[in-house]
Every structure is written in structure tokens, then in C-alpha cells.
């Protein structure tokens, strides 16, 4: 029998809803630890992320006391990591050290000693990490066995730990058994023990979620490691009943403790007592599914075909079938790329204030904290869990960035140009006393608009795009129909409501605001998808104002094979002490015949909570016929259409004279651990007018985007 290391990683994202965290605590974290206390022979390695530690300090301090007691008694080993659960490899080196040191100090305060090991968020490994980790006394990390198998290690060689290095800085690496991750808690303890003994397990061939190649892992090795998400022991569908009501976890703990010759140990105990098996140099990677999710749609389709082909052959080929690189999410999702580059830009702004000594020490310290919080990884990517598709997680990131920037910035107008998203085009960063917008020359579009106080990202939207898993929607169970008993979330297929296939509508490109579109003459709507002419890729020349509070002008032109040519001029100016953005558009037509169309200029806005009674649509000061943010339709011949958020205490409105305004919800269909779900990503609001132009004639469209801070907010 081998030595067995057991561990759990508990995490909740920055910005997650309190009731969601509470449910995870009640259904998984608390009962797991209580059960562990009832089995004193068990030993466990535990990682609790910083966001969850902060929640527990407020809501469940007794959990932290249980951790302290277990660590003091030598039954628990607490792991370090990046405090706010970032992907360390995509941070600046300064922030990497800040994240690691914060967690090391928290662990030391909790159990009296600094952590020797680290939990890497999503097990994302890049070879330069040992150099950074060693500076904080980190001696080991745990990675999936697939990291090792993809490098050419054979399963029979993974019964221990290995040493890697970067520039002579060493780090021990423990392989986590994928086979055990799929066995526990879904299979009976007898099967787990059979695997550990090296004997065949009943039903071994049809283990849910595991490939035939996964079963190739050799059991009965001197060391086995199982470290997995704590949420699978109570939060994943069916697992609370399985683990606690049916007693699967108690039976497993009892069976492990009673098994002759099986030793339960922690990482540090093994590190101190056993020599390494040798060197290992691992490529960048994570678990298999992460590599799959990081690929673009066409790549995922090819990977699925290749995986199916390899499964037909039992030649040990599966470990060499791999997906993409985690950083590919920045290429796959423009929104992820923007979030990451915005975070780096905000960090540079805070660093510049620190170096210049222009910010109050207290404000500077808070700003630095907000930047670190905004590095929580969950809102930057999407796979099985909602992640990037969840607006409140993106909002939490952007809100903290806006807050950090506001803390170290001056109160007045500023104007700067910088290619902050590294796409070869310098963005215009235009700040007023009340707001800040990031404007892209391509299309003359507003990529982001933020209210500075309260810190609120108004344009936090996500484009509707085709996902690989959309093909599985037809297989989903009807709502209310019971899913199978507990199984891996990689294998659950169900829909949270009927008719989701109707929402599989895809946008032509990532969304921005101040976007102009031309629709057919007879169009009875101004939807985001389906315009006759989309001017979003029109490259505009920029005329900066002499002073930051002056007029900014963008000029673009498009020629058509038919001999037609369009000239678009956008004139923008802050007004009302920066609370209003005045928009003046001029579209000039040149060419044969007449241009007849519906011209629209639109904004993608998101105040979250589309059904909440404290978020609503007002038309000329009165509630719209359908006042939900999720509503759709025209408001004609009006002076003002307002989105109001009484909770946060803010409003944003399109205003002018005799405006026709179209609005529609932006709704995506994404996959989460609970199944397919529809998610409100914001609303498209477009000011429109019908135009008929002869060659040389110009149509004008004028309106204002008005921001307001309300009294009596409940947030």
C-alpha cells in the first residue's frame, strides 16, 4: 500500500454573491471539516483562497479556528498561493511577490508558520515559477499527473515527487492523480482502495469522465496524491447528498484509516522523509479540460476529433493529446484580453503615483489592495464554470480597477493616448471630473466608460459568440427533470430553462459603444446583429482638443465597390462638469443614386440585475411600459431614456430632442456547473433616425449621454 496525500482547495471568486458563498460553506466547507474532526486518524492538506478567508473572517470565524486547531495538532497542513487567487504567471513580478507574501503572512498568522507549499490557481504552470516562489520560502507545488505524462513520463514513474529549477532555484513537484480525482467521491470506497492496492476495481472501465487512457495510471505506487476542489464535496450537483446524507465521505475516511499498511501523510512530511525521484522539466500547462477550453472554436472541434480517434487505440497516446495554453484566453475572448490589459494599465497608474509621491499614503495603500483583488482569475476565462460569462465577476474586477485609479488620480480633466491593450492602436483615455472613457480609433468606439464615484463600469458587456458546448444544448434535460445522481460536473448535461436554443444568436464582433450602424430602409428595429452596414471597423483619424475639456473629433471614411462613399465625423465634448458627453455625428454620402437608411448610434450598457425592482427604465421621467432592464422595443419621439440603479445610486441616460431610441437585452447561453443557462450581459441602446441623402448631402444625429449620481443609494 502507498502513502496517500489528501488535500482540498477551497475558493470563491472576488465579487461572488454572498448567498452563493454561504451555500458553499453550509453544503461543503463546514461539513467536510466537521467530518474530518470526527476522524482523528485523517491527515489533510488545505488551501483556502484569500477571498474566502476574507469572507470567513466576517461570517464564519469558527472555520478558521478549526483550521488553526488542526494545524496546531499536526493533522492539517495549510498551503500558500496567490492571496486573491490570481494566475500568477500573467502578473507583473511585483504583484506576484505581493500576492504570495500576503498569503504567506495570513497562513503564518493562522497556524504560526509560513507555508512550505503552494496551490497554483487552476494548476497553471509555467517553467519560470520556481524563481519567484523560492523568494517566499516555497518548497513545493502540486500539479496534475497529466503535466508529467505529456512530457514523456510513464505512469509507473509517478510514485513520488520530482525537482525542477529555474536559474538554479529549485522546487519540488508532486503529481496529482487524475484517476483518483474521478474516483472520489463518485465511486465506493472499495474501488478507491482497490486502485490504491493495485488490484482491479469493479466497474473500473466505465468511470464517468475518465478516458480509457486515464485508467492506464499504475495503482499501487509508493505515493499517491489526491488534491481537488473542496466544492466537489457538497456543492457540485448531487454531491451533498452523496457525501453526507448517504455517508460516502465518512465511509471513505473510515476505510482509509482502517486500511492495513496505508499511510496518510502531508506534503511536508513526504518532502522531509523521502528523496526526490529525479529531475522534471514540465511544459506550460494545466489540466486537460483547461487546455481544451483555451482553444478557439475550430481548435476545440479538431481536438475533440483527435481525442475520439486516439480513444480507439490503446497505445498510450492520450497524454500527448493536449489543448491550448491558458494565455490563449486573451486571444479567444477580446473581453478577457481587455480586462487583463486594463488591470496592468491600472497597476502602472498606481505605480506612477507611488514613484511620484502624488498620492496620500492611505489612498495609495488602498489602491494597491484593489489592484491585487482585481487579479482574481475567475472573471478572466471561461470553461465549464461561468467565469468570464458572469457579469458580476467582470464587474468586480473593473470596479476595483476604477476605484484604484480614482484614489491616485487628480480631480480634473485629463487626456492621454496609449496602446494599453497592445493591438497596435493607441487608445484615447479621456477623463472628466465625473467619468473616464477609453476610446478606440477603430470605429471611433468607446471601449469602456466608467463612473468614477461611485466606481462603476457602465459598459461591462460580453459579446454573444458560438461556444463548442452549444452543440450539446439539444441533449440537455428539460428543467425540473432530475439529473443523474452525483457525477463529475464534466459529464452533467441539463438546461435551466426551456427554449434556450432561441438565444443562440451571435454578434459579428466584440461589442463596444458609440457604434454606428445603417439598417435597411424598411427596418422596424435597430438590433445589434443584422444591420445593413456596420461601421465598427472604420478606422478614424483623431483630432485631439487643445485642452482636455475641449472637443475631440474623429473622422472616418469607407468606399464601396459600387462607387458609393461614406464619410463619418464624430464630435465629442464633456459638459456639465464632466457628467455629460455631448455627441454630434455627421454622415456624408457620395455616389450614385440616393442613400436611404436607418442610421443608429448605440451604446452597450450594463447596470446588472435585469429583473430587480431597484433597476429600471424611465422614459421622460416615468417608468417605461416594461421597465425591466431586460425589456425590448422602441421609445419614439422622446427627450430622455434613462437606466436607473437605485441600489448603487447612479443613472445613465440618452437625451436630446425628439429622439427615437431602440433597446434590447444582450443575453448569452453559457454552461455552468448547474447546466446551460441564459445570462443577461447588458442592453444595447441605439438612438436612430431615418435618412435620405443625395450625393454630397449630410445627415446629423445629435444626442447626449448623461450620467447622474443619485441620493439615497441602498448599496
Q: Are residues 104 and 242 in the same domain?
A: yes
Query: By the 8 A CB rule, do 349 and 409 touch?
Result: yes
Give me the pLDDT at residue 410, please.
87
Give me the pLDDT at residue 241, please.
97
Last residue of a domain, one of 383, 410, 437: 410
Q: Give me the residue label for grid cell 483550521.
A: 67
Cell numbers found for residue 348: 502602472
Q: Are residues 21 and 87 in the same domain?
A: yes
- Considering the domain boundaries, does residue 498 fall inside one? no
Q: Which residues are catalytic?
A: 122, 229
Query: By the 8 A CB rule, do 447 and 512 touch?
Result: yes
Torsion over CA of 622, 626, 631 and 635, rounded to 10 degrees? Answer: -50
pLDDT at residue 75 is higher than 70: yes
Q: Are residues 203 and 81 in the same domain?
A: yes
- Considering the domain boundaries, does residue 552 fall inside one? no
Tell me how many domains the chain contains.
3
Q: Are residues 57 and 47 in the same domain?
A: yes
Q: How far apart are CA 351 and CA 357, in angstroms?
A: 10
Sign of the CA dihedral with 255 first, then 261, 262, and 263 last:
positive
Q: Element (H or E) spanning 639, and its range?
A: strand 633-645
Q: Are residues 86 and 208 in the same domain?
A: yes
- Considering the domain boundaries, does residue 162 fall inside one? no
Mean pLDDT, residues 334-343 = 98
Count of other CB atoms within 10 angstroms of residue 482: 9
Q: Are residues 328 and 216 in the same domain?
A: no
Least-confidence region, from 23-32, 193-202, 411-420: 193-202
Of 306, 419, 109, 135, the closest CA to residue 118 belongs to: 135
Q: How far apart are CA 323 and CA 334, in angstroms?
A: 20
Q: Are residues 97 and 203 in the same domain?
A: yes
**Domain coverage including residue 305:** 294-332
306: confidence class by pLDDT, cuts 50, 70, 90: very high
Last residue of a domain, one of 332, 356, 378: 332
Give me the pLDDT at residue 487, please.
52
* Residues whose CB falls within 8 Å of the CB of residue 579, separated by 6 or more in sequence, listed in order: 432, 434, 435, 706, 707, 708
Q: How far apart are CA 225 and CA 223, in angstroms?
A: 7
Least-confidence region, from 145-149, 268-272, 326-330: 145-149
- Considering the domain boundaries, does residue 517 fall inside one? no
Side-chain half-sphere CA neighbours of 475 within 13 A: 9
Cell numbers found for residue 488: 463529475
Share of the chain above pLDDT 90, in %: 86
Cell numbers found for residue 700: 446629423
Of 39, 5, 12, the closest CA to residue 27 belongs to: 12
Give me the pLDDT at residue 656, please.
98
Side-chain half-sphere CA neighbours of 371 within 13 A: 29
Residue 146 to residues 120, 287, 355, 698, 711, Cα–Cα distance (Å): 15, 7, 44, 62, 55
Give me the pLDDT at residue 606, please.
98
Q: How far apart are CA 156 and CA 143, in angstroms?
A: 17
3-state secondary structure of 23: helix
- Considering the domain boundaries, does residue 78 fall inside one? yes
Q: How far apart are CA 606 and CA 457, in angstroms?
A: 8
Cell numbers found for residue 103: 498569503
State pLDDT tens for residues 498-523.
889 999 999 999 999 999 999 998 89
Mean pLDDT, residues 174-201 = 90
Residues paired with 574 in a beta bridge: 581
Q: Are residues 352 and 226 in the same domain?
A: no
Query: By the 8 A CB rule, do 459 and 449 touch?
Result: yes
State pLDDT tens for residues 211-251.
434 444 455 789 999 999 999 999 999 999 999 999 999 99
Q: Are residues 47 and 91 in the same domain?
A: yes
Sign of the CA dihedral with 536 first, then 537, 538, and 544 last:
positive
Give me the pLDDT at residue 331, please.
97
Mean pLDDT, residues 665-670 = 96
Give me the pLDDT at residue 473, please.
82
Last residue of a domain, one of 332, 353, 382: 332
Q: How far apart are CA 585 and CA 568, in angstroms?
A: 7
Q: Give me the residue label for grid cell 509621491.
A: 357
Q: Are residues 99 and 207 in the same domain?
A: yes
- Considering the domain boundaries, does residue 38 fall inside one? yes
Q: Are residues 15 and 91 in the same domain?
A: yes
Q: Element (H or E) spanning 515, and its range?
A: strand 515-519
Give me the pLDDT at residue 202, please.
41
- Considering the domain boundaries, does residue 358 fall inside one? yes
207: confidence class by pLDDT, cuts 50, 70, 90: very low
Q: How far apart are CA 661 and CA 650, in angstroms?
A: 20
Cell numbers found for residue 489: 460536473
- Considering the domain boundaries, does residue 701 fall inside one? no
* Residues whose CB falls within 8 Å of the CB of residue 302, separated by 6 or more in sequence, listed in order: none
Mean pLDDT of the chain: 93
Count of other CB atoms within 10 angstroms of residue 365: 13
Share of the chain above pLDDT 70, in %: 94
State pLDDT tens for residues 573-607.
999 999 999 999 999 999 999 999 999 999 999 99
Q: Are residues 260 and 398 in the same domain?
A: no
Give me the pLDDT at residue 486, please.
56
Amino acid at each position: 500500500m502507498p502513502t496517500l496525500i489528501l488535500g482540498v482547495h477551497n475558493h470563491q471568486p472576488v465579487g461572488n454573491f454572498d448567498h452563493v458563498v454561504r451555500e458553499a460553506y453550509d453544503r461543503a466547507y463546514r461539513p467536510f471539516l466537521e467530518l474530518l474532526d470526527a476522524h482523528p486518524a485523517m491527515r489533510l492538506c488545505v488551501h483556502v483562497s484569500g477571498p474566502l478567508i476574507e469572507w470567513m473572517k466576517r461570517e464564519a470565524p469558527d472555520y478558521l479556528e478549526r483550521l488553526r486547531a488542526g494545524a496546531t495538532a499536526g493533522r492539517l497542513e495549510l498551503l500558500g498561493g496567490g492571496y486573491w487567487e490570481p494566475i500568477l504567471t500573467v502578473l507583473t513580478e511585483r504583484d506576484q511577490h505581493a500576492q504570495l507574501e500576503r498569503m504567506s503572512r495570513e497562513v503564518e498568522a493562522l497556524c504560526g508558520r509560513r507555508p512550505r507549499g503552494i496551490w497554483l490557481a487552476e494548476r497553471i504552470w509555467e517553467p519560470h515559477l520556481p524563481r519567484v516562489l523560492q523568494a517566499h520560502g516555497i518548497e513545493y507545488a502540486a500539479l496534475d499527473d497529466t503535466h508529467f505524462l505529456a512530457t514523456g513520463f510513464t505512469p509507473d514513474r509517478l510514485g513520488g515527487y520530482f525537482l525542477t529549477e529555474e536559474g538554479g532555484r529549485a522546487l519540488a513537484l508532486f503529481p496529482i492523480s487524475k484517476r483518483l480525482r474521478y474516483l472520489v467521491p463518485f465511486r465506493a470506497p472499495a474501488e478507491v482502495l482497490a486502485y490504491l492496492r493495485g488490484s482491479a476495481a469493479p466497474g473500473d472501465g466505465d468511470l464517468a469522465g475518465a478516458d480509457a487512457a486515464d485508467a492506464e495510471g499504475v495503482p499501487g505506487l509508493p505515493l499517491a496524491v489526491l488534491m481537488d476542489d473542496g466544492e466537489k464535496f457538497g456543492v457540485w450537483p448531487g454531491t451533498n447528498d452523496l457525501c453526507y446524507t448517504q455517508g460516502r465521505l465518512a465511509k471513505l475516511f473510515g476505510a482509509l484509516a482502517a486500511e492495513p499498511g496505508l499511510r496518510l501523510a502531508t506534503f511536508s512530511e513526504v518532502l522531509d522523509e523521502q528523496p526526490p525521484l529525479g529531475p522534471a522539466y514540465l511544459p506550460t500547462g494545466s489540466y486537460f479540460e483547461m487546455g481544451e477550453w483555451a482553444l478557439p472554436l475550430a481548435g476545440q472541434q479538431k481536438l475533440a476529433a483527435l481525442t475520439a480517434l486516439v480513444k480507439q487505440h490503446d497505445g498510450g497516446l492520450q497524454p500527448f493529446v493536449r489543448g491550448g495554453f491558458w494565455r490563449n484566453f486573451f486571444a479567444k475572448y477580446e473581453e478577457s484580453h481587455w480586462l487583463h490589459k486594463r488591470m496592468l494599465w491600472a497597476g502602472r497608474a498606481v505605480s506612477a503615483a507611488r514613484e511620484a509621491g502624488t498620492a496620500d499614503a492611505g489612498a495609495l495603500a488602498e489602491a494597491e489592495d484593489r489592484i491585487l483583488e482585481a487579479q482574481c482569475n475567475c472573471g478572466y476565462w471561461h470553461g465549464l464554470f461561468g467565469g468570464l460569462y458572469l457579469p458580476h465577476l467582470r464587474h468586480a474586477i473593473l470596479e476595483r480597477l476604477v476605484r484604484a485609479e480614482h484614489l491616485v488620480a487628480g480631480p480634473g480633466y485629463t487626456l492621454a493616448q496609449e496602446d494599453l491593450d497592445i493591438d497596435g492602436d493607441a487608445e484615447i483615455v479621456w477623463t472628466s471630473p465625473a467619468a473616464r472613457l477609453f476610446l478606440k480609433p477603430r470605429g471611433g468606439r468607446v471601449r469602456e466608460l466608467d463612473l468614477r464615484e461611485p466606481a462603476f463600469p457602465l459598459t461591462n458587456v460580453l459579446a454573444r459568440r458560438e461556444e463548442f458546448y452549444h452543440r450539446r444544448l439539444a441533449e440537455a434535460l428539460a428543467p425540473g427533470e432530475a439529473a443523474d445522481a452525483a457525477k463529475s460536473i464534466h459529464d452533467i448535461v441539463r438546461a435551466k430553462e426551456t427554449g434556450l436554443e432561441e438565444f443562440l444568436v451571435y454578434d459579428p464582433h466584440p461589442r463596444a459603444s458609440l457604434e454606428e450602424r445603417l439598417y435597411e430602409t424598411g427596418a422596424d428595429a435597430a438590433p445589434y446583429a443584422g444591420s445593413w452596414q456596420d461601421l465598427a471597423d472604420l478606422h478614424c483619424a483623431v483630432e485631439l482638443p487643445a485642452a482636455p475639456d475641449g472637443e475631440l473629433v474623429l473622422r472616418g471614411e469607407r468606399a464601396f465597390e459600387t462607387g458609393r462613399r461614406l464619410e463619418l465625423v464624430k464630435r465629442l465634448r464633456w459638459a456639465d462638469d464632466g457628467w455629460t458627453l455631448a455627441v454630434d455625428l455627421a454622415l456624408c454620402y457620395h455616389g450614385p443614386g440616393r442613400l436611404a437608411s436607418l442610421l443608429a448610434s448605440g451604446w452597450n450598457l450594463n447596470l446588472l440585475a435585469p429583473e430587480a425592482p431597484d433597476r429600471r427604465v424611465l422614459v421622460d421621467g416615468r417608468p417605461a411600459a416594461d421597465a425591466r432592464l431586460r425589456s425590448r422595443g422602441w421609445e419614439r419621439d422622446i427627450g430622455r431614456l434613462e437606466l436607473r440603479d437605485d441600489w448603487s445610486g447612479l443613472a445613465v441616460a440618452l437625451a436630446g430632442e425628439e429622439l427615437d431610441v431602440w433597446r434590447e437585452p444582450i443575453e448569452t447561453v453559457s454552461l455552468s456547473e448547474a447546466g446551460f443557462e441564459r445570462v443577461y450581459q447588458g442592453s444595447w441602446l441605439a438612438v436612430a433616425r431615418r435618412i435620405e441623402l443625395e450625393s454630397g448631402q449630410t445627415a446629423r444625429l445629435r444626442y447626449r449621454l448623461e450620467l447622474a449620481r443619485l441620493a439615497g443609494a441602498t448599496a
